[in-house]
Structure 1
Amino acid sequence: MSIRQNPAPTRLPDFGNLGVMLRCLLGVNLLALFAALARNTALARLPEELVELAALVEPPLIASVALLYAAGRPLARLPYAAALAAVMLASAALAALFMALFTPPGLPPPSPLRAALWAAAAAAAVLLYFDLRHRAFSPALTEARLMALTARIRPHFLFNSLNAVLGVIRSDPRRAEQALEELSDLFRVLMAENKQLVTLGEEIALCRQYLDLEHLRLGERLRVAWDIEGCPADAQVPPLMLQPLLENAVYHGIEPCTEPATVTIRAERAGEEIRIVLSNPYHGENAHHAGNRMALDNIRERLMLFYDLEARLDTEAQEGLFRATIRLPYRRGGST
């Protein structure tokens, strides 16, 4: 299916992101490697040439990355052209300053002007890479949202929920009406574009509605334990991050049980990190395990698209318990 999408606005990368910093370091070092290969015809001298280049490149490079990390928010407020010029000028100034003040022992004094020009060119090349990467990943984000929507809502959930509502219409019409409202709210959120982060409080409210519907169907077989007091409700998370995990927990952990079983949700803040752990009974490999893996891979991809390398989803199964752990940076509601 072809997806038409307006091109994303050009902007600087988030220099506070671990993945961005690592790519900056790797990109400039690759440029230095190519420069060493281009200027050196004797392969025997290549290791020595690389060591000399590293002694010249690494100090201003690390200083530039640290400066961009500190100035990330002010730079984000500038127009792209002005921010690009500021990054290039800062990189050039730091390179010239280091070359003028700190010459590695045993090496001829480098030209500060030449170092500044090389630093500005390297900064422009790295920013061009990030711009192209951002443009390439924008359609992928939409594609991932549609894939996540398809994987998240299984037909059996819709049919079972409607059958559960039909089962209580006569005996408890008020509860049936409430269940239909919850189902409507759930699908309204699922059908939205979900481009922006939401608060953890909103995500948990949606999960409670989903679990209410499943409890209507499964009755006392489904028990839920919440431990979320240690996590701020204003923490920003990707939309529909927990609901697919809860659906997996119900589908793979609770439905096969003949006795009451518990799904546990724990959330806490540890420094500048949010940690969310979902656990449910584990019954080993089964015919539906491939669908479980697909949903988990889908969530991992969405975390990568929202946070790059700063968030991850880990899973483990042991002693009859399946556990999914999400770690992501703590961002307050309304923060950029």
Structure 2
Amino acid sequence: MSQRQRRATPRRDDPVNDFFVPDLCRVRAVFLLLVSSELMVLLLAVMHSENTWIDWNYFGLLSLFVQWTALTSAAIICPLRGLLARLSVARASTLITLIVLADVFIFSLFADNMLHPEPGVNGWMAIGKKLLAALIITLMALRYFYLQAQWQQQKQAEMQARLAALQARIHPHFLFNSMNTIASLISSRPDLAEDAVLDLSELFRASLKAQDRLISLSEELGLCRNYLMLEGLRLGDRLTVDWQVAPELDQQAIPPLTLQPLVENAIYHGIQPCPDGGTLRIEGYQRGEFAYLLVQNPRPQTDQSRHDGNRMALANIQARLQALFGETAVLKQSHQHDIYTVTLRLPRQRVPSHRSTRTP
């Protein structure tokens, strides 16, 4: 692996990325924190009330207290996340708990001085109860975050194993068809067969990157171009390629070997069975929060588009997309006026500019 590839591969051992406490600098995390704390306040206000369903005065005061302590604690923990991530789970949990308790203690003193200038024994007992409640809630939240992080890591490991298995099932099929292309040229056009071997070596050098979960669309299109160069040697004038991919999609994130199998299927189940060949159209555009990629080919009179190999490739791609993007990614097939179309919808997501290699 080259130095550039090492830098491009995301580091899985980054302690900040693996830290079990969510990033409280993000708006979504803060919003969920406020909503959760407000629901807890509502529950306490309902339980505190004796004659009505809810004690609104108690709810308002407790809500103000809890929200301020939650926000200030999050504001303190947020910049310390890098330091906390380098500590053990026990030490990080202890430090976070101490921060929350200190914050609650300071706000309790302030609130008690505002409401009761001379707190006395009852006032200190109320502060002690707040500290005990804050301790229990903080430990429960940290335990939840830890279990959630463990579940996410297990899910990530299972997904990586699944992607590796799916990736391994693509390469033999890809190699078999590519070698058939070269074999067909050896006897009749040995010079072109030699060039095809060189093209294939470049293609596999780029495609056999199993450690990359996502690459740029420009890289994936490079694989398609190399493959089409091989097929162009075999099919000659029977193959015409129409490229209609918007330049702004160059850095769109896509799993490796996603478009290339679709192009391969279009050749073997669309262009090749037609006596006069046909036009393969590859289109890409952005619409809203999604990127759309289309692969179109003529549909032969005999319905070979439902070939088992075609179905297996589509199912493989769909499984990888679901594992990486969830329900936001869609792969569908359609045919109209003897044109077969496979449409791929991906959530708009870019890979870092230093990560991808732009194809010539």
Contact kept? 1:88, 1:123, Cα under 8 Å: no
Which residue does 1:277 correspond to in 2? Answer: 293
What letter corresponds to residue 171 of structure 2 in structure 1?
A: I
Which residue does 1:312 correspond to in 2? Answer: 328
Distance 1:87 1:177 in 2: 64
Distance 1:334 1:159 in 2: 33
Corresponding position: 1:123 with 2:141? yes
Summarize the alignment of residues 72-83 of structure 1 with structure 2, pairs less than 5 Å apart: 75=81, 79-81=85-87
SS in 1 for 2:211: coil
1:35-85 Cα shifts (integer Å, max 9, x gaps): x7xxx9xxxx9x989xx8xx79996899699969x959x735763437945
Distance 1:179 1:265 in 2: 26
1:141-194 Cα shifts (integer Å, max 9, x gaps): 432233222332353x43332232233346554432232123223334444432
Q: Tell me which of 19, 26, 49 is aligned to 1:12.
A: 19
Q: What TM-score results when the alignment is normalised by the length of structure 1?
A: 0.62
Contact kept? 2:293, 2:343, Cα under 8 Å: yes
Distance 2:102 2:151 in 1: 27
Contact kept? 1:315, 1:322, Cα under 8 Å: yes
What letter corresponds to residue 19 of structure 2 in structure 1?
A: L
Which residue does 1:202 correspond to in 2? Answer: 219
Deviation at 1:128, TM superposition (A): 0.8
1:239-293 Cα shifts (integer Å, max 9, x gaps): 43433443444455545555403231315596xx662412324858724264144
Q: Tell me which of 318, 331, 346 is aligned to 1:297.
A: 318
1:128-148 Cα shifts (integer Å, max 9, x gaps): 123312431343243223322
RMSD: 5.1
Contact kept? 1:280, 1:322, Cα under 8 Å: yes
Of all paired residues, the percent bearing the same amino acid is: 23
Residue ranges of structure 2 left out of the alignment (5+ in a row): 1-11, 112-125, 356-360
SS in 2 for 1:262: strand
Contact kept? 1:186, 1:210, Cα under 8 Å: yes
Which residue does 2:153 correspond to in 1? Answer: 135
What letter corresponds to residue 275 of structure 1 in structure 2?
A: A
Which residue does 1:168 correspond to in 2? Answer: 185
Residue ranges of structure 1 left out of the alignment (5+ in a row): 1-6, 102-108
Closer/same/farther in 2, CA of residues 290 and 165 from structure 1, 3 Å limit: closer
1:227-250 Cα shifts (integer Å, max 9, x gaps): 1312344x5544434334434444
Distance 2:270 2:194 in 1: 28
Q: What TM-score results when the alignment is normalised by the length of structure 2?
A: 0.59
Distance 1:77 1:213 in 2: 53
Is the radius of gyration larger for structure 1 or structure 2? 2
Corresponding position: 1:326 with 2:346? yes
Contact kept? 2:286, 2:292, Cα under 8 Å: yes
Corresponding position: 1:230 with 2:263? no
